[in-house]
Amino acid sequence: MASYPQESFQNTTFEYNSFWWGRRRKIRKNTLHSQLGILKDTGRYDAFRLKWHPTYEDGYKALFWDSDVAKWLEGACYFLAQQEDIEEDKVIDQAVRELTDMIANAQWKDGYLNIHFTVVKPGLRFTNIRDLHELYNAGHLIEAALSHQHYNKNSLLLDPMVKYVELLHRTFGPGAGQIHGYPGHPEIELALLRLYARTGNTKAYDLAKYFITERGNPTGAQGKHFYITEAAQRGDKSGQRPAGDAWPTANAFWYQQAHKPILEQDTIEGHSVRAMYLLTAVADLVRHSRDIEPGSKSFEGYKTACERLWDNMVNKKMYLTGGIGSIDQWEGFGIDYFLPQSTDEGGCYAETCASIGVMMLAERMLQLDLNGKYADIMELALYNTVLGSISQNGKEFLYENHLASCPKRPMKREDWFDCACCPPNVTRTIGMLGGYMWSTDIKGRDVTINVHLYDQAELRFEVDGEQVNFRQSTNWPWKGFGVLTLDAPSSLNVTIKLRIPSWAKPFEDGRIIILEPQPLSQITPVKSYITLQPDYTRNHVRIPINFRFSSSTFETRLLRHHPFANQNTITIARGPLIYCAEDVDNKWVDDHFKSVRISRNAKFEVSTRYDSNGEQYTIVTAPAVKIDLAGYERLKGTIPGYTGDQLNDLQKKDVKVLFIPYYYRGNRGGMGHMRVGFEIEDEVLPNI
Amino acid sequence: MASYPQESFQNTTFEYNSFWWGRRRKIRKNTLHSQLGILKDTGRYDAFRLKWHPTYEDGYKALFWDSDVAKWLEGACYFLAQQEDIEEDKVIDQAVRELTDMIANAQWKDGYLNIHFTVVKPGLRFTNIRDLHELYNAGHLIEAALSHQHYNKNSLLLDPMVKYVELLHRTFGPGAGQIHGYPGHPEIELALLRLYARTGNTKAYDLAKYFITERGNPTGAQGKHFYITEAAQRGDKSGQRPAGDAWPTANAFWYQQAHKPILEQDTIEGHSVRAMYLLTAVADLVRHSRDIEPGSKSFEGYKTACERLWDNMVNKKMYLTGGIGSIDQWEGFGIDYFLPQSTDEGGCYAETCASIGVMMLAERMLQLDLNGKYADIMELALYNTVLGSISQNGKEFLYENHLASCPKRPMKREDWFDCACCPPNVTRTIGMLGGYMWSTDIKGRDVTINVHLYDQAELRFEVDGEQVNFRQSTNWPWKGFGVLTLDAPSSLNVTIKLRIPSWAKPFEDGRIIILEPQPLSQITPVKSYITLQPDYTRNHVRIPINFRFSSSTFETRLLRHHPFANQNTITIARGPLIYCAEDVDNKWVDDHFKSVRISRNAKFEVSTRYDSNGEQYTIVTAPAVKIDLAGYERLKGTIPGYTGDQLNDLQKKDVKVLFIPYYYRGNRGGMGHMRVGFEIEDEVLPNI
């Protein structure tokens, strides 16, 4: 393996004491180690040695242990690849080497590689790719191998995975002796396309294309839907549902986004992680198909499908936090505008992995269409559901990211989960954060740098052997000004595109951003990006370019749901951050803030706090009222419903609510009472 | 069969041109005939001849044909029992006689009686009483036989049913050779207790008691839950769900209210009709157990369970209309306060039969505890969901009673349904309406008449061979005054108890009701009933007693949901009537009123309309605004959520909304746009 295309995550360095530097350092020094310990304690680490483990008795609990290890390995390699002289890294590096050996040794002669179907059910490989995560595991192993290759600059892990891909390519496809199927949990598709992008492996491309284009074919396998034929072949009864209760009804293939071909899907449905991983691959397929099959029109339909499903998701099925999925049973999407805040209000799931999937899909969509609407949501998910899913000390996690707690589901972090997809997924996502931050487009001597996210970081890459350095220095997410510094050969035509957040508010003179030195021409955002042309950048090489947004851009905003969501609530936001309140700051709370109402005219006060590590964050306080719920009970008429005069009699108590950034919740003990959206206080009905 | 206790439905005569006289007349002259025609056309009528019918191929569609016929028969006999010289009655009477013969002839020698398990699956009786409605059918046949006996004064239908009960009594019970089970769809329990009350059949009482007390026993059948043991015996796979998709998860016995013993159930769960029928029987068991097993403490726990589950239902799981059940999949209850108005808002079911069940349960609870909270809900369900489920011409029906229509579920009535439980259920319920209206309690020479509902009607009964006539004449549900007339021997001690609705508003002097002639002592309601003592009634025999509520009692009220229901809506009510708007009166509507908002300070104007039959009803009009939804789309930020300044820019159009009583909806054509609860218009967020 010689050279491979540069990806921006590989070339990004976060600067000391920036927002993300601190978090990444905590993951490197704490999370990688605590997760490695748990991988070892639970048997996952040694599972590739192919010995029996008591957990296998259960039949299902260890089904995706391969992927748990693979995601940790992928994340570890991202961090190790960034040379920093950290003593503790040696332990991680040693584990990476040992795992690499174990995984390579676990491979069958024919290329097959899976713990469950080697140790537990060796005769049953590829008999239930719908339910048993077989190819999902393969996908994560491929991604791990790519990260491993990037770090170690060898192919000790990638070579076995390429061999496995060749087996899969022989096994699945439209040919007579092949299985005409596709996995129930997408992941391998996007991994195959990453493998193709890195190495040019066209078998990987072809297989991903087959999985994507065949998906949902109603007559693809012996004249029937593949999942029906596959189930019949293994002796399932007609209409039999998978183990577990994810399918609320028989043949609920929408759970797997396979109820119809992707081109025909109008709304985003089913398990939210699967949906995001699938569409990430679809968007990548569109991108790569332009190189490999130029002129093919059919992929434009897939681009339209991605856009249609993205819009349905963001406009009608996404929480204000960037979380997706309101239905607990299938860990996924409900109907349009169905976005209750908590389990006791009808459902909320908002899985961490799903928001990671949102970031992945947004990143891919930005490659197809540089539109701030994708970057806004990527940033929203990053700063709220994704960042918030890991504790400040890096050792505790959230699987679900409810917008309100309730007695049955208090806000509480865990070390780990039996179904452990989320914790190592956060590790690897933050590990490759540079890949989300910016992207480059190099065509000959024309170089474009697209800035999607803001922090203090440097991007370094080469063009024809010449070095380009680009640096941004901001105080995001707290303040809206910063400095850009470009160092590039003057013979390069460098274009810089900066994202303007949708929540940016213009200055009094109408400008949305102010740059110094000022460009000669007026700068107007196109799809929420402004463009600094080569004639400007060439004159500002090694000269700092200052930029700032209006001061009101980072002030407190109040958000309301779309009225169809039936939420008479307001939510506080500042910049990309959504705010919540929790009992540790509001000790008087006894009902998860259900009875607390905030007036739309309340005065919101803002101040800065420093946590025990000296890390700053902005808090907001507001006056509110707490309704006497016992009063509701007393006033309850026997006709269900409350008349205005009854409501006017309710006892109210003035309180003050302190809000913190949503990501910061669950770090300081407390009773687990937390809420994002607060009911609006107003006068009640007149007595008529 | 000689004499049997009087029941108030038997002794009630509705007076010409009263509210319910008109509706009952329409059912007698239209509904009974149109339903008979459909019973014949669909094969149900002749099914008891035990010939094969093509519908049986389906396996499930005809499973409760027995009950469809039985409910019609029960209803027909209620109407026929009221002697009126109506020519068309002869057809009905002839059908009743023919059906009686057919049903009696369909009985097996050993007493068994069921179409499906005689014609379709003769070898499988009592192998799946969980799913296949076998005992549910038996229950409705018993109720039909009781009504038949009341009308025909013979036991041509009751004798076979008693014989069937004897077979069931031998088959089910705690004995060694007996089945330790109970039906998945309760109904037979309440039928058995009605049979006991009429005839004193203690086998019926014992069997009902067994079914109720055994229900939900986790170890009742071979050490396991009966439904698990029964399923295993017929070869079901572990965790296999019933045909159809009613169970969202495996072993969802809460669907049948059998997840735990009734005494341990804290919240009302599952299929709403089953829940109501079961609790109706439980309340009846408590009542009758006081006679048959005096001193038994255990039944008091069942009374407490009924009260606890009633309160949970009414306070947290009932729509403002008296409808219950928000979840389509299992036709039943969601979590507390989960009450979306329509399918596209997260669910609404509110089955007609469930509201009939609410009336039944309320009527039984009133026998245990004369408390207006039961009668209020009984009246609410009657005037809204039950009355509204049948069209003004008596020939079209509603199975579900949503509070708002949506594109997928427009407001539309049907002649009939494949699953035809509701239409004949309404027939029989209105047929025995006198039983809900009032009740009597006779102990020696002490007679109490409890008035639960108001109309123009007369109650006639005998005490020791002496006649008592009691008449009420009101203009309910439009106005709150009336006249009571008592004709009774002066040697009787007659007490009259009148219900005060919870929505009654006091006069300025604080009195809640004014009576003329005035009683000597102050009248204060106890549990929402006032008492006219014998010393007062004795002095007012054959002297009209006028009563009236304050004029504001029947004025427009605005109702709001409990705040936990997340509904920022107001609903119009007048007296017991809930109001809605539909497009036929509001032709500008194009979105099921989703974008229409009404101010809490709107001026509501009231007027009277007369329909094509000259029947009056009160309408309400109010100014409103219609929000430009296209505006929402345009203003949509890419961050999900809307800031105040965006919302202030929305286009609004002034409109006027005309509201009609909910029961009157769907009678005059239109596009099927309808809504009960309207979002509240107020100023939006300030720009901060």
Instruction: Give the pLDDT of residue B636.
Output: 56
Residue A240 touches partner B, C-beta closer than 8 Å: yes
Residue A682 touches partner B, C-beta closer than 8 Å: yes
Judgement on whether residues B548 and B561 belong to the same structural domain of the protein: no
Judgement on whether residues B158 and B12 belong to the same structural domain of the protein: yes
Q: Provide the strand spans (E) within A312-465.
A: 438-443, 446-451, 456-463
Chain B residues touching A648 at Cβ < 8 A: none
- Concatenating the DSSP letter of every residue in A468-482 gives EEEEEEE-TTT--EE
B626 near B587, Cβ under 8 Å? Answer: no
Looking at B503, B527, B553, the residue that finishes a domain is B553
Choose among A240, A315, A641: nearest Cβ to B559: A641
Q: What's the rounded Cα separation, in Å, for the pair B565 and B267?
A: 17
Contact state of A638 with B373 under an 8 Å Cβ cutoff: yes
CB atoms within 10 A of CB B102: 16
B284 near B193, Cβ under 8 Å? Answer: yes
Instruction: Give the pLDDT of residue A686.
Output: 46
Contact state of B641 with A336 under an 8 Å Cβ cutoff: no
Over residues A432-486, the pLDDT tens digits come to 999 999 999 999 999 999 999 999 999 999 999 999 999 999 999 999 999 999 9
- Concatenating the DSSP letter of every residue in A474-539 gives E-TTT--EEEEEEE--TTSEEEEEEEPPTT----TTS-S-EEESPPSSPP--BTTEEEE-HHHHGG
Judgement on whether residues A533 and A561 belong to the same structural domain of the protein: no
A353 near A425, Cβ under 8 Å? Answer: yes
Choose among B241, B335, B683: nearest Cβ to A346: B335
Q: What's the rounded Cα separation, in Å, for the pair A309 and B364?
A: 52
User: What is the token pair recorded at A619?
Assistant: 């808090």
Q: Which helix (H) or strand (E) holds A165?
A: helix A158-171
- Concatenating the DSSP letter of every residue in B194-240 gives HHHHHH--HHHHHHHHHHHHHTT-TTTBTTB-HHHHHHHHTTPPTTP
Q: What's the rounded Cα separation, in Å, for the pair B523 and B503?
A: 18
Amino acid at B248: P
In this predicted structure, the answer to whether residue A188 has a pLDDT above a threshold of 90 is yes
Q: What's the rounded Cα separation, in Å, for the pair B420 and B398?
A: 11
Amino acid at B378: M
Q: Look-up: residue for tokens 């016995």?
A: B253
Over residues A113-163, the pLDDT tens digits come to 999 999 999 999 999 999 999 999 999 999 999 999 999 999 999 999 999
DSSP B268: -
A568 near A518, Cβ under 8 Å? Answer: no
CA angle A81, A83, A85 (to 5 degrees): 135
Q: How distant is the Cα of A615 from the closest Cα of chain B, in angstroms? A: 27
Residues 597 through 616 of chain B touching chain A, CB cutoff 8 Å: 600-601, 604
Judgement on whether residues B509 and B575 belong to the same structural domain of the protein: no
Residue B114 touches partner A, C-beta closer than 8 Å: no
Looking at A518, A553, A588, the residue that finishes a domain is A553
Judgement on whether residues B192 and B89 belong to the same structural domain of the protein: yes
Residue A244 touches partner B, C-beta closer than 8 Å: no
DSSP B627: E
User: What is the token pair recorded at A131?
Assistant: 């339910």
User: What is the token pair recorded at B85?
Assistant: 């010289």
Structural domain harbouring A470 = 444-553
Q: How distant is the Cα of A498 from the closest Cα of chain B, in angstroms? A: 17
What are the residues whose beta carbons fall under 8 Å from the beta carbon of A204, sequence distance 6 or more? A165, A169, A192, A193, A195, A196
Q: Name which residue leads in pLDDT, B120 or A238.
A: B120
At A642, is the pLDDT very low, low, confident or very high (cuts 50, 70, 90)? confident
Instruction: Give the pLDDT of residue B514.
Output: 95
The answer to whether residue A603 is domain-embedded is yes
Q: What's the rounded Cα separation, in Å, for the pair B331 and B96?
A: 32
- Concatenating the DSSP letter of every residue in B454-485 gives -SEEEEEEEETTEEEEEEEEE-TTT--EEEEE
Find which of A566, A645, A687 to mutate to test the B interface (most B CBs within 10 Å of its CB).
Answer: A566
Phi–psi pair at B378, nearest 5 degrees: -60, -45
Residue A556 touches partner B, C-beta closer than 8 Å: yes
Q: How distant is the Cα of A568 from the closest Cα of chain B, in angstroms? A: 6
Number of residues that make up chain B = 688
A440 near A374, Cβ under 8 Å? Answer: no
Distance linking the first and last C-alpha atoms of chain A: 81
The answer to whether residue A116 is domain-embedded is no
The answer to whether residue B422 is domain-embedded is no
The answer to whether residue B667 is domain-embedded is yes
Instruction: Give the pLDDT of residue A630.
Output: 74
User: What is the token pair recorded at A620?
Assistant: 């907001």
Judgement on whether residues B540 and B563 belong to the same structural domain of the protein: no
Q: How distant is the Cα of A386 from the closest Cα of chain B, in angstroms? A: 16
Judgement on whether residues B548 and B564 belong to the same structural domain of the protein: no
Phi–psi pair at A451, nearest 5 degrees: -100, 110
For the purposes of burial, counting CB atoms within 10 Å of the CB of B181, is it exposed (0-12), middle (13-18) or buried (19 or more)? buried
Judgement on whether residues A564 and A675 belong to the same structural domain of the protein: yes
Chain A residues touching B643 at Cβ < 8 A: 503, 557-560
Instruction: Give the pLDDT of residue A331.
Output: 97
A541 near A651, Cβ under 8 Å? Answer: no
Judgement on whether residues B606 and B521 belong to the same structural domain of the protein: no
A563 near B679, Cβ under 8 Å? Answer: yes
Residue B241 touches partner A, C-beta closer than 8 Å: yes
Residue B487 maps to which CATH number? 2.60.420
Phi–psi pair at B28, nearest 5 degrees: -65, -40
Chain B residues touching A477 at Cβ < 8 A: none
Q: What's the rounded Cα separation, in Å, for the pair B26 and B241?
A: 42
Bridge-partner residues for A461, per DSSP? A468
**Percent above pLDDT 90 for chain A:** 84
At A291, is the pLDDT very low, low, confident or very high (cuts 50, 70, 90)? confident
Chain A residues touching B558 at Cβ < 8 A: 643-644, 685, 688
What are the residues whose beta carbons fall under 8 Å from the beta carbon of B625, sequence distance 6 or more? B596, B597, B599, B652, B653, B654, B655, B681
In this predicted structure, the answer to whether residue A245 has a pLDDT above a threshold of 80 is yes
Looking at A534, A553, A572, the residue that finishes a domain is A553
Choose among A346, A560, A637: nearest Cβ to B685: A560
Q: What's the rounded Cα separation, in Å, for the pair A349 and A409?
A: 11
Which residues in chain B land under pLDDT 70? 1-6, 633-640, 644-648, 682-688
Over residues A354-391, the pLDDT tens digits come to 999 999 999 999 999 999 999 999 999 999 999 999 99
Judgement on whether residues B305 and B344 belong to the same structural domain of the protein: yes
What total of structural domains would you count in chain B? 4
Instruction: Give the pLDDT of residue A1.
Output: 31
Q: How distant is the Cα of A624 from the closest Cα of chain B, in angstroms? A: 16
Contact state of A556 with B688 under an 8 Å Cβ cutoff: yes
Q: Which helix (H) or strand (E) holds A355?
A: helix A352-368
Residues 381 through 420 of chain A touching chain B, CB cutoff 8 Å: none
Chain B residues touching A679 at Cβ < 8 A: 563
Contact state of A688 with B567 under an 8 Å Cβ cutoff: no
Over residues A85-121, the pLDDT tens digits come to 888 999 999 999 999 999 999 999 999 999 999 999 9
Find which of B234, B551, B566, B600 to mutate to test the A interface (most A CBs within 10 Å of its CB).
Answer: B566
The answer to whether residue A626 is domain-embedded is yes
Amino acid at A452: H
Judgement on whether residues B72 and B168 belong to the same structural domain of the protein: yes
The answer to whether residue B268 is domain-embedded is yes
Buried residues in B424-460 as b, exposed as e (16+ CB within 10 A): bbbbbbbbbbbbbbbbbebeeeebbbbbbbbbbbbbe
Q: Any idea which of A3-7, A37-41, A674-678, B159-163 has the lowest mean pLDDT?
A: A3-7
Residue B412's closest CA among B394, B427, B391?
Answer: B391
Q: Peptide bond before B160: cis, by omega within 30 degrees of 0? A: no
Choose among A314, A637, A684: nearest Cβ to B640: A314
- 3 state DSSP class of B488: coil
In this predicted structure, the answer to whether residue A266 has a pLDDT above a threshold of 90 is yes
Contact state of A249 with B558 under an 8 Å Cβ cutoff: no
C-alpha distances (whole Å) from A632 to each of A181, A598, B124, B475 are 56, 18, 53, 33
Buried residues in B21-47 as b, exposed as e (16+ CB within 10 A): bbbbbbbbebbbbbbbebbeebebbbb
Choose among A557, A562, A638: nearest Cβ to B376: A638
The answer to whether residue B149 is domain-embedded is yes
Q: Pairing relation of β-strands B652-661 and B577-582?
A: antiparallel
Mean per-residue pLDDT over chain A, rounded: 93
Chain A residues touching B241 at Cβ < 8 A: 241
Q: Look-up: residue for tokens 């007048």?
A: B574
Contact state of B641 with A337 under an 8 Å Cβ cutoff: no
What are the residues whose beta carbons fall under 8 Å from the beta carbon of A442, sequence distance 6 or more? A448, A463
Contact state of A647 with B560 under an 8 Å Cβ cutoff: yes
Q: What's the rounded Cα separation, in Å, for the pair A200 and B32?
A: 76
Judgement on whether residues A561 and A655 belong to the same structural domain of the protein: yes
Instruction: Give the pLDDT of residue B60.
Output: 86
Residue B215 touches partner A, C-beta closer than 8 Å: no
Distance linking the first and last C-alpha atoms of chain B: 81
Q: How distant is the Cα of B566 from the closest Cα of chain A, in angstroms? A: 6
The answer to whether residue B686 is domain-embedded is no
Instruction: Give the pLDDT of residue B563.
Output: 84
In this predicted structure, the answer to whether residue A647 has a pLDDT above a threshold of 80 is no
Instruction: Give the pLDDT of residue A634.
Output: 61
Chain A residues touching B344 at Cβ < 8 A: 335-336
Residue A334 touches partner B, C-beta closer than 8 Å: yes
